Amino acid sequence: MSNGISQHDFDRYAASQRRAINALTTLQKEDGHWCAELQGDSILESEYILMKFILGQEDEPMADGRPGRETLGKIAAYMKTLQREDGSFGQYPGAGVDLSATVKAYFALKLLGEDSEAPHMARARQVILHDGGAERCNSFSNFYLACLGQISWDAVPAIPPEIVLLPKWFYFHLSKVSAWTRTMILPLSLVTTLRPRRELPPEMGIDELYHSSVDRHRLTSVIDAPAFWSGFFFTTDAALKIAHRFGGTPVRKIAIRRVIDWMLERAGQDGSRATDGLGAIFPPMVYLQIALKACGYERGHEVIQRAERELDAFFIEQDDLIRIQPCFSPIWDTGIALYALADCGMTVEDEPARRAADWLRSKECTLRGDWADNVSDTVEPAGWYFEYHNNWYPDCDDTVMVAMALKCMGGKANIEAAQRGVTWTFALQNDDGGWAAFDKTTHRRILEYIPFADHNAMQDPSCPDITGRTLECLSIHGYTVDDAPVRRAIDYIKSRQEPEGCFFGRWGVNYIYGTWQAIIGPIRCGVDPGEAWIRNAGQWIKSIQKDDGSFGESADSYEDPALKGRGNSTASQTAWAAMVLQEIYGPDDPDLIRAIDWLVSMQLSEADAGMRKSNPDGDPPGSWVETEFTGTGFPRVFYLRYHLYRLYFPLMAIGRFLAAHQKPELQDMKSVEDSSVSVVATM
């Protein structure tokens, strides 16, 4: 044992690790995987309600037969619990006003019969008008408002379906925008072309939310674009709308048919079960139903019925409230959980780990999805996606996480599957040396100025967090700084370092996450922790540590970089920072020990776990409480609360810490298995 901790402290940390392992394995599903709740904000509930009114289904039975109006009422009841005291809705607890979210929530509640003069509605209306009125909604909200007759279709960005026919050399080709943008804009191209419109009685509308009748019916944009490009795209939009009045281009009918085929193929409507819905995520799954309705598909059609079932599977009903998840996260949760158990010494010989590894191997991609458009034809399908079924869209982040876990588990089948994932990942390295999420890409700044790019994720460029995690994976597979792809990736990461020494977090909140991911991979590939840029990152981490040893950062830092590393303390972010400290300064670093001490002190005991007030999510003993959103969907637009982040990341940090202190063998794994029960409910 090293000199940094006493035997007493070591035993205390080891006991904490055992409790966390018990908590994690208790939550493992019978077939070996994990999938906890994935929580978003109120737009999931409001957009679902608006969709049902667009489709005219608000009084019809749901896909599973339960009463539609009653179900929508439960969704609305949950949404109302998210309203703030001032009447607004936001992207996460403590965030500023989200105007578009507040408008959609108000409209959804009014459609369901809420009195517009009720105090909660009046407060929401006051916030909306104070912040500029509903005419300042983002483009993806305006699609709903136009479908329900509240604004003119001229106020909605034109998305011509002919984009599906563009040649690959064209600057705006589908392969040059992000995977999630493709799945959103193609169904919306049908919606903006066919222009479905449900006329509502005036008393159900939201006239009272607008300041200007002129701005209400013309295209505006909140995108901060250079004057030239703003003018160019607004002129293009006007030209497209003029062409629309004359039936579009001569190939419009062909384009519409091609878009429908594209959507249905990627929605798995051929019976292949390649995916659970278009993109396997909420927004395109909603847009698909609206687009197909506009194309004349009846609700009884098997394509529509399946689309409804897949979307409604995101419901979580509890206490007569229904909240909606944006998607499922089983491969992500299982990959990280298995990797955390590997850091605690588990291998394929241990039953919980074996079952998880077997389940992950069963989810390996076998389809040449959209990613194949930008790589050599010789690259074989491989890798992993995020959800239960999404074979069209494996991603680098999930692939390298699973490849790390399987490699660490050992066993011939696991190692071979992991190597296939690594080979696939190499093919997706970008020319700048980094990795993006879903595709091999080149950043094209101009695409960010298109009027419907206000979801702040039109593209999928390289980012330091995914690149760093990829390097961590490569190090486990034996790659080092002597390998050219590794050197190029390290150069990319260094080029993205902030002046303070930290790194931006594209997929997690925010600079703590980005720094954790960006630093560990290069060090494990052979970069000297004493190099200046690594030390600068470590000093930044130390500079934001709190007196009690913890770390925390709010997603407010995406809006104001001055808030880097500042926010409520969380278990996940403290774990990320602790792993950075250990990697740079070693296991005896006093600041690392303070972080580990905080994690151990905040772990739920048996008594804590039974108290709803101090444990609002009902976590098992051995887990941690964390109500903050530490996951990122679209920076500045949509954030996520992963309900297992508070458990497997602290376990990972404690496991690495104990391993570095030459911990004795883990408790008998059989006792862990005997105490583990599979539960169906998510955390």
- What is the DSSP track for 152-202? -GGGS----GGGGG--TTSSS-GGGS-HHHHHHHHHHHHHHHH-------G
pLDDT of residue 271: 55
pLDDT of residue 682: 34
Q: Where does the pLDDT of residue 221 fall: very low under 50, low under 70, confident under 90, or very high at 90 and above?
A: confident
Q: What is the rounded average pLDDT for all residues in the chain?
A: 93
What phi, psi does 317 have (nearest 5°)?
Answer: -105, 130
Residue 678 scores a pLDDT above 50:
no
Q: Which of 340-349, 543-552, 667-676 has the lowest mean pLDDT?
A: 667-676
Q: Which of 195-199, 250-254, 271-275, 638-642 has the lowest mean pLDDT?
A: 271-275
pLDDT of residue 612: 65
Q: Percent of the chain having pLDDT more than 90? A: 86
Q: Where does the pLDDT of residue 4 fall: very low under 50, low under 70, confident under 90, or very high at 90 and above?
A: confident
Taking a C-beta distance cutoff of 8 angstroms, is the pair 596, 657 a contact?
yes
| Residue-wise pLDDT tens digits, 159-181 | 999 999 999 999 989 999 999 99
Query: What is the domain partition of the chain in residue ranges?
Result: 43-324
Q: Where does the pLDDT of residue 2 fall: very low under 50, low under 70, confident under 90, or very high at 90 and above?
A: low
- How far is Cα 141 from Cα 148, in angstroms, rounded to an integer? 11
Residue 453 scores a pLDDT above 70:
yes
- How far is Cα 306 from Cα 269, in angstroms, rounded to an integer? 8
* 395-401 mean pLDDT: 98
- How far is Cα 405 from Cα 419, in angstroms, rounded to an integer? 12
- How far is Cα 633 from Cα 635, in angstroms, rounded to an integer? 6
pLDDT of residue 456: 74
pLDDT of residue 175: 92
pLDDT of residue 451: 86
- How far is Cα 96 from Cα 86, in angstroms, rounded to an integer? 11
What phi, psi does 596 have (nearest 5°)?
Answer: -65, -40
pLDDT of residue 273: 66
Any catalytic annotation for residue 41?
no
Q: Which of 18, 83, 29, 82 is CA-nearest to residue 644?
A: 29
User: Which is catalytic among the residues 41, 397, 454, 460?
Assistant: 397
| Residue-wise pLDDT tens digits, 242-265 | 999 988 899 999 999 999 999 999
| Residue-wise pLDDT tens digits, 597-616 | 999 999 999 877 767 667 88
Domain 43-324 CATH (choose: 2.130.10.10, 1.10.10.1100, 1.50.10.20, 3.20.20.150): 1.50.10.20
pLDDT of residue 664: 47
Q: Which of 271-280, 291-300, 366-375 has the lowest mean pLDDT?
A: 271-280
pLDDT of residue 616: 84
* 522-550 mean pLDDT: 98
Residue 655, burial from CB neighbour count under 10 angstroms (0-12, 13-18, 19+)? buried
The tokens 């108290």 sit on which residue? 611
